[in-house]
A and B are shown apart, each in its own frame.
Chain A
Amino acid sequence: MAKTKTTAYKAPRITWRRDFKRNWPVYMMFLPAIIFMVVLHYIPMFGIVMAFQDFNVTKGYFGSEWVGLKNFIDLFTGDQFLVALRNTVCIAVIKTTLGFVPPIIFAFLLSMIQNKKFKRFCQTMSYLPNFVAAVVVVSLVQEFLAKDGPLTLFLTNVFGLENQNWLANEQIPVFWIIYLLMGVWQGIGWGSIMYVAAISTVSGDLHEAAAIDGANRWQRLFKITLPCIMPTVMMMFVLGVGLSFSTGFDSILLMYMPSTYNVADTVYTYTYRMAFSASANYSLSAASGLFQSVVGTILLIGSNAISRKMTDSSLF
């Protein structure tokens, strides 16, 4: 989070009581946010105790029986959660590596285009998918990859792949690749904004000097532009790694089906299913949600710390 700009003036040490007397209207302004945060975020955090209970809705938090780590043991000894965990890890790794590169390449390509109008037009077009709702994106994927969908026909006719409903394919990397490509399609333009901005701040003098010394554009790209935007790249990578485990899985809820749980189920969708489907088990769902939350937080703090050590930049 950005540091707040503190002014040079430093107030002498004052007590809470004096501060309240002087600034009570500001204290009042904090009130709504604090109420909202406590009710909608902090009380649910207390509710995590149900992960350690055999939770029963009618008995509530105080009446339900404590079972210690039983829910977690159940999670890690059953097959469903382990499969979901494997899928989550694989999808997260694919997303943060293969899914990370296309926006950077797109930004490089854009930076080499000299026709301003053409560049702007293509940028605008590439942003559009970012504004399309998840529900719509998934129905587009379903439409294009159905048995008679345009993309399926293209793959069959041009590459000779078997004609099939690709979303129903249970073989291992198929769903992950579809999910990756869906993310790339949605994010390639929008994700390139940071890089385009970073590239545009690279000093023109460096390029000029290198060009005079006879460096061609590829040499300049790899020796000047890339090192100059490296801090931005690192920062985005850290953010990507930090969020990879905990966010972005909700659209899978719209894409998967019981026959593809083996490849498409993730910790997030498992948590959802355990909470709201016919076979609901609130305690298991809370345990799985807690697991995801903890791993996500560790990843975010850890990757941020590593980034602060290795480069100058950090998120908070």
Chain B
Amino acid sequence: MGFKKKKQNAVEEKSLHMVEHKGIGDHIADVIIYLLVALVAFVSVIPMWHVLMTSLSDGKMVMAYEGLVWKWIGNFNLKAYNLIFDNASIVSGYANTIIYTVSSTALGFVLAAITGYALSRDTKLKTPVSLILMATMLFSGGMVPTYMVIKSLGWVGTRWALIIPGCTNSMFMIMMMNAFNSVPREMYEAARIDGAGHFRTMWQVMLPQAMNLGFVIILNSVVGQWNSWLPASIYTPNNKNLWPLQLWIKQIVADNANFLRSANPDYNRYLIQYAVIVAATLPILVLFPFFQDKLEKGVIAGGVKG
């Protein structure tokens, strides 16, 4: 959603921190501010750190250990990772997540680009269609009626239920419309006069100019799809071969509660839940700092909630 707002002059941030005389009180305040910010950063990371270190620990010892795991306990141990990559269901979960993420993002982006381009042109259909799109953001049919439609399409228990609904995002379409609107009109006119059709104009002339926002859409879609679990739990609850990784995490964490009931447990199995969390989360967490600036700009430009 874009925001109507008065334009303000961007002023360099450094001017906020003028050289001025500081008293002892200011220095104490400075220390407290630094500590608080560092505390937020610390608290943000420490739970995942705990999980990472637990997954690398000795299974039996870490089970007996209580409290935060700062560093792996016992011998450094990668057996849990061997176990999860030998586990056919987790590997298939990984593959499914990749399939859903790639196809839903690709399809969603193409749809958003085509619709955004069409919306950015002057036609009589522009206003009615943008109203149709915005209405879906305000009001939805709800869980059961949507389920009924997916069911009558014959998509329940198939991959389609997880790919197609996820890619029709009216917010992305509107963002692409804004992106195309900001491309200079001359470029469009030049391409059209040179005889390029609408599709050619869009893909070869306009889209490269609109990719700044396009990239934000792609990143948001990738993160959203990678982390999504609800559609799978609604539409493919019994088709374990279609489960994305997130559902397997849910299952494994729940199963682990029963772990101790077996007579002679393999303690590395206790670590699986930690290892699978790391394996599912690390790719996104490692990739995201590279795109941080773009994602930040996306939040500011579009008010998109990650």
Contact = CB atoms under 8 A, between A and B. Distances in A.
B66 interface: yes
Interface stretch (A31-39, A76-84, A89-97, A171-179): A31-39
B48 A4 contact: no
A133 B145 contact: no
Nearest to B118: A29
B264 interface: no
Q: Give the interface size bracket for B toward A.
A: 35 or more
A131 B288 contact: yes
A69 interface: no
A85 interface: no
B201 to A, nearest CB: 10
Residue with the greatest number of chain A CB neighbours at <10 A, chosen from B38, B48, B125: B125
Q: Is the interface of B mostly helix, strand, loop or mixed?
A: helix
A26 B177 CA distance: 13
Interface in A1-38: 1-5, 7, 11, 14, 16, 19, 23, 25-27, 29-30, 32-34, 36-37
B34 to A, nearest CB: 7
A313 B5 contact: yes
Contact of B10 (A2, A29, A201): A201
Given A136-B280, A150-B50, 20 more contacts: A2-B1, A2-B2, A4-B177, A5-B181, A25-B198, A29-B117, A32-B114, A43-B145, A118-B37, A121-B41, A128-B48, A131-B284, A134-B229, A143-B47, A143-B51, A189-B44, A201-B10, A203-B9, A208-B15, A313-B3
Interface in B1-38: 1-6, 8-13, 15-18, 20, 26, 29-30, 33-34, 36-38
B146 A40 contact: yes
Contacts of B165: 40
Residue with the greatest number of chain A CB neighbours at <10 A, chosen from B6, B20, B144, B299: B144
A140 B273 CA distance: 11
A65 B115 CA distance: 40
A66 interface: no
A36 B66 contact: no
Contacts of A67: none
B55 to A, nearest CB: 12
Interface string A237-258: 0010000000000100110000
Nearest to B140: A293
A34 B125 CA distance: 11
Given A19-B123, A125-B44, A253-B230, A47 B37 contact: no
A216 B20 CA distance: 10
Interface string B248-263: 0110010000000000
B193 interface: no
Contact of B174 (A1, A131, A272): A1
Given A127-B292, A131-B223, A133-B227, A254 B250 contact: yes
Given A2-B178, A29-B198, A135-B249, A19 B129 contact: no
A160 interface: no
A48 B67 contact: no
Interface of B: 1-6, 8-13, 15-18, 20, 26, 29-30, 33-34, 36-38, 40-45, 47-48, 50-51, 66-68, 111, 114-115, 117-126, 129-130, 132-134, 136, 138-149, 153, 164-165, 168, 170, 173-174, 177-178, 181-182, 185, 197-199, 223, 226-230, 234, 237, 246-247, 249-250, 253, 273, 277, 280-281, 284-285, 288-289, 292, 296, 299-300, 303, 306
A45 interface: yes
Nearest to A15: B124
Interface residues of A, number: 108
Contacts, number: 307
A235 B3 contact: yes
20 contacts: A29-B118, A33-B111, A33-B133, A34-B132, A37-B133, A39-B149, A41-B140, A44-B149, A47-B145, A111-B16, A127-B292, A128-B285, A129-B44, A200-B10, A201-B8, A207-B15, A217-B29, A239-B1, A253-B230, A271-B143
B273 A139 contact: yes
Contacts of A40: 146, 149, 164-165, 168
A32 B44 contact: no
Contacts of A2: 1-4, 174, 178
Given A30-B125, A153-B66, A113 B5 contact: no
